[in-house]
Amino acid sequence: MRNSLIFKLMGAFLLVVAIGGLVISWLVSQATQNAFSLYTSRSGQMWAQRLAPVLADYYSLSGSWQGVDAILQSDLATTVTPGMGGSGNGNGTGAGRGMGAGPMAGGGMWGITGQRMILSDAQGIVLSDTAGELVGEQLSADQVSNSTPILVNDTLVGRLMVSPIDLSGARTPAGDFLTSINQSIITSAAVAGLIALLLGGILFFQITAPLRNLKKAAHAITQGDLNQRVAIRSHDELGELGETFNSMVDTLKKNEIQRQNLVADIAHELRTPLAAIQATLEGMLDGVLPTDAEQVTALHHETMLLNRLVGDLRLLSLADSGELTLEGAQADLNELICQVVERSKNQAGQKNITLQVDIPGALPEIQADTLRITQVLNNLIGNALRYVPESGTIIVSARKISEPEDAIEVSVTDTGKGIPKEDLPNVFDRFYRADKSRTRASGGSGLGLAIVKQLVEAHGGKVEANSPIFSGESQQAYGTRISFTLPFHPPAGNNFPPEEVIQ
CA distances from 264 to 269, 431, 458 (A): 9, 10, 27
* Residues 387 and 311 placed together within one structural domain of the fold: no
pLDDT block averages, 10 residues each, the chain of length 503: 68 81 82 78 80 87 83 56 38 37 42 72 87 84 86 90 63 68 82 83 80 86 86 83 89 83 76 84 88 86 83 80 79 90 90 90 86 90 89 92 83 88 84 59 68 89 82 61 87 54 34
pLDDT attached to residue 75: 52
pLDDT in tens, 369-384: 888 899 899 999 988 9
Which of 173, 193, 222 terminates a domain? The answer is: 173
* DSSP state letters, 228-251: -------SSHHHHHHHHHHHHHHH
* DSSP state letters, 79-98: G--TT-SSS-SSHHHHHHHH
* Residues 333 and 418 placed together within one structural domain of the fold: yes
48 occurs within a structural domain: yes
224 occurs within a structural domain: no
Q: Residue 110 gets which letter from DSSP? A: H
Q: Which pTM was predicted?
A: 0.52
Cα 195–Cα 11–Cα 245 angle in degrees, nearest 5: 105
Q: Are 56 and 151 in contact (CB under 8 A)?
A: yes
Q: Cα–Cα distance between 354 and 347 in angstroms, integer? A: 10
Q: Cα–Cα distance between 380 and 394 in angstroms, integer? A: 10
* Residues 306 and 356 placed together within one structural domain of the fold: no
* Residues 166 and 112 placed together within one structural domain of the fold: yes
- Number of compact structural domains in the chain: 3
* Residues 342 and 448 placed together within one structural domain of the fold: yes
pLDDT attached to residue 98: 34
* Residues 128 and 260 placed together within one structural domain of the fold: no
494 occurs within a structural domain: yes
* Residues 395 and 317 placed together within one structural domain of the fold: no
218 occurs within a structural domain: no
* Residues 10 and 159 placed together within one structural domain of the fold: yes
CATH of the domain at 251: 1.10.287.130
Three-state SS letters, 187-211 = HHHHHHHHHHHHHHHHHHHHHHHHH
Q: Cα–Cα distance between 245 and 253 in angstroms, integer? A: 12
* Residues 339 and 429 placed together within one structural domain of the fold: yes
* Residues 24 and 100 placed together within one structural domain of the fold: yes
* Residues 315 and 335 placed together within one structural domain of the fold: no
Phi-psi region of 88 (alpha: psi -120 to 50; beta: other; left: phi over 0): left
* Residues 20 and 58 placed together within one structural domain of the fold: yes
209 occurs within a structural domain: no
Which of 155, 173, 191 terminates a domain? The answer is: 173
215 occurs within a structural domain: no
Q: Are 351 and 423 in contact (CB under 8 A)?
A: no
Q: Which amino acid is at 265?
A: D
Q: At what angle do helices 448-458 and 370-387 cross, to 10 degrees?
A: 150
pLDDT attached to residue 352: 92
405 occurs within a structural domain: yes
Domain, as residue range, for 477:
329-500
Which of 321, 348, 365 terminates a domain? The answer is: 321
pLDDT in tens, 399-450: 998 876 788 999 999 988 888 888 888 888 877 766 555 554 444 567 888 8
CATH of the domain at 415: 3.30.565.10
202 occurs within a structural domain: no
